[in-house]
Amino acid sequence: MSFVDHVRNARAVPIPGAASRLASRFTEGVPLYLQIAESLLSEIESGGLQPGARLPAERLLSEQLGVNRMTLRAALGKLETEGYLDRRQGAGTFVARPKIERQAGRLVPFSRTMTRYGYRPGAKVVALEQHPAGTAVARQLRVPVSSALYVVRRVRLVNREPVMLETFWMPVRRFPRFERFDITRRSVYEIMEREYGVKVKRARQSLEPTIATEFEARLLGVAPGAALMLEERLSLDARGRPVEYGKDLYRGDRFRFVTDSAPLDR
């Protein structure tokens, strides 16, 4: 009997010896909770367990698998942290919605990507202000310290759900009166090109995991400490001059980053 069969049948009367047969297939030297998490993730990704499916109660599932509840909770907690399970207080544990794929290393507008996947994109401006450039941002944009910058915070939406918080800086001198444009409906790069004649040609980007602060959690509709992916970006024009510096925070339970790689020369 496969792992998913045990999950599906966990509400039934336990079959004598079923748990021990499954336990006998565990690999020695690898923590049990990791093996359980990997087996469950395999079933989720293969479609054996559909989004929205409710897992059995911890007590029944731990009995069927022949492991203690602490081990089972560790496995479920790992998958919850990675965004594959949704544990709801008083309701149970459910298989989460599939993650949205975002191409790493490619400068593709958010709205265009979401539309391509059949989602309805949107945006909500949290702040659009002018501030003097601090040392770190001034260095990135190659502008004098204390020169005027636009600082923009915008929540990006998918089907009206907040999924990404972006913060970016732009030189006021290069993009005067930028605040007059509606960036809830228009792409910033499209505004740059059409209104200012500045075309973004490439960007330097990096990715690293982080966790949500209380402020970020409130805007994104997640719990403080939830897993996020930070994408840091420096956008450059055709002459290699910086035009925008940004830090985007993606919800870890809604996105996965993918990339295509060529084979290595050996």
Joined together, the tokens standing for residue 59 give: 């007590």
What the chain holds in terms of domains, given with CATH numbers, is 3-95 (1.10.10.10), 100-258 (3.40.1410.10)
Q: How far apart are CA 37 and CA 73, in angstroms?
A: 10
CA angle, corner 249, sides to 245 and 255, nearest 5? 125
Q: How far apart are CA 217 and CA 212, in angstroms?
A: 5
Q: 65 falls in which pLDDT band (50, 70, 90)?
A: confident
For 180-218, write each residue's pLDDT tens digit: 999 999 999 999 999 999 999 999 999 999 999 999 999
Q: At what angle do helices 69-81 and 32-46 cross, to 10 degrees?
A: 50
Provide the pairing of β-strand 148-158 with 121-132: antiparallel
Q: 141 falls in which pLDDT band (50, 70, 90)?
A: very high
Q: Is 103 helix (H, G, I), strand (E, B) or coil?
A: strand
Task: Say if residue 95's pLDDT is above 70.
Answer: yes
Q: 243 falls in which pLDDT band (50, 70, 90)?
A: very high
Q: How far apart are CA 208 and CA 110, in angstroms?
A: 19
Task: Say if residue 21's pLDDT is above 50.
Answer: no
More confident residue, 104 or 38: 38
